[in-house]
Amino acid sequence: MSSVSTTLASSAPRWLPTGAEAYHRMLAALAKARHSIRFEYYIYRADEIGDRFRAALTAAARRGVRVQLLLDAFGCAGLPDDYWQEFKQAGGQPRTFNPLTWRLFALRNHRKLLLIDDAVAFVGGYNIGQEYDGDGVTRGWRDLGVELHTPVAIRQLAAAFDGMFNASRPHHRLFRRIRYPLHHPLGAGRNGPVLLSGPRLGHNRFRTQLLRQLKPARHVQIISSYFVPSFRLRRALRRVVRRGGTVELLLAGKSDVPLALLAGRARYGSLLRAGVRIWEYQPQILHSKLAIVDDTVFAGSSNLDARSFGINYELTVRFDDAAFAASGRKLFAADQHEAVEITLPDWRKSQTWHRRLRGLWAGFLLTKVDPWLAHTQLRVLS
């Protein structure tokens, strides 16, 4: 095992299996912050949860903590104009990523990160909003996060945040500056556990490492909220089964993005025929992002779709830790009890000509039109 893997294993990362637990631990950590808070999220709501986090961030700023806040402009578009006024008066530094314009609206920062005192970090799928608060079964979306203390990961996460925060200074053209901060400072972490991706970062490191891990894989379990896999990923999953391995997918039965549900289900056929097993989560909207490949765990903000693989800025952490993978498999098994298995006969029966047509059209929009639009906007900045 590599030194990185050993460090990760010895640092005992902690699963945050529900929104209620994640928010409790995040708010408790914010209350103890003494030096610095880096806070980066895609969606932020002006609701009870958002107000609690705003109060905690403001209180930290008042006691002299350096609090830097970075929110995606699309994801926080519903906030009142004066929402952060008290926070700024306390000394907090709020910034938005890529202010909304018609020329650049497709390019978004989908990362979720809370880093406190360069000592503890929270990553995963959770945004900041009331819909995530609950147990994922009786109340709140089903999501997943990780609390970690690994020094090498903490350093890379800090560099990732600093690069994006500095690139989001007001009154400047964002992406003209974003090329250097995201290429250079993070290059030192190229071989570490933090996998960054985005349209200005070259190849997608999460996708590359996931495909590499699948080549010799024997036991694969994936939870994905927006599952619109590329041909290469579908082929890699089928090959695991044909070599005698197992692939289990836990996907959304309910979704806040109906197009993703339609496009994903249209791709079940070749996977089911190859022997891949698929379940759909039933009680609540599924928003988790998790891949367990033998003893390797990938957890973070990235979905398995064209937007996460080629458009959004994303953040995933890799854990080479057998014990952590085993505990992750227990979470997978618990969610299976709340899911319905989709068999090949069931899928064939559900795929009427009308549904197949809608699925193909949804897939075309998500895998062809959306990337084309984003890349067109990027060319404006070249």
Catalytic residue from among 72, 110, 133, 320 = 110
Our answer to whether residue 289 is catalytic in this structure is: yes
Contact at 8 Å (CB) between 22 and 146?
no
User: Residues 274-299: pLDDT tens digits?
Assistant: 999 999 999 999 999 999 999 999 99
Q: Which of 336, 315, 297 is nearest to 15 (CA)?
A: 297
Name the residue with higher pLDDT: 235 or 98.
235
Task: Give me the CATH number covering residue 139.
Answer: 3.30.870.10
Q: Is the pLDDT of residue 9 over 50?
A: no
Instruction: Tell how many helices (H) and how many strands (E) occur in the chain.
Output: 15, 15
Q: Is the pLDDT of residue 164 over 80?
A: yes
Strands 194-197 and 339-342: unpaired
Long-range CB contact pairs, 341-345, < 8 A, 24+: 341/277, 341/278, 341/279, 342/268, 342/272, 342/278, 342/279, 342/280, 343/272, 344/269, 344/272, 344/273
Do the domain assignments include residue 267? yes
Our answer to whether residue 203 is catalytic in this structure is: no
- Residue 182: band (very low, low, confident or very high) from pLDDT cuts 50, 70, 90: very low
Catalytic residue from among 72, 133, 143, 289 = 289
- Residue 105: band (very low, low, confident or very high) from pLDDT cuts 50, 70, 90: confident
Catalytic residue from among 117, 118, 162, 346 = 117
Please tell me whether residues 158 and 281 are part of one structural domain: no
Name the residue with higher pLDDT: 271 or 98.
271
Do the domain assignments include residue 374? no
Our answer to whether residue 51 is catalytic in this structure is: no
Our answer to whether residue 117 is catalytic in this structure is: yes
Q: Provide the b/e sequence for 103-141 (b: ≥16 CB within 10 Å).
A: ebebbbbbbbbbbbeeebbbbbbbbbbebbbbebbeebb
Phi first, then psi, for residue 281 (nearest 5°) are -75, 135
Please tell me whether residues 166 and 210 are part of one structural domain: no
Our answer to whether residue 254 is catalytic in this structure is: no
Q: Average the pLDDT over each of 19-23, 26-30, 106-110, 245-249 and give the range with the smallest value.
A: 106-110
At residue 78, the pLDDT reads 92
Our answer to whether residue 143 is catalytic in this structure is: no
Catalytic residue from among 287, 320, 335, 370 = 287
Domain boundary, last residue among 172, 194, 216: 194
- Find the mean pLDDT for residues 109-138: 97
For 72, the 3-state DSSP assignment is strand
- Find the mean pLDDT for residues 160-177: 72
Do the domain assignments include residue 370? no
* Average pLDDT across the chain, whole number: 90
Tokens of 126: 């959770």
Q: What domain range includes position 130? A: 3-194
Catalytic residue from among 72, 112, 143, 320 = 112
Q: Average the pLDDT over each of 41-55, 102-116, 280-294 and give the range with the smallest value.
A: 102-116
pTM assigned to the model: 0.91
Domain count, the chain: 2
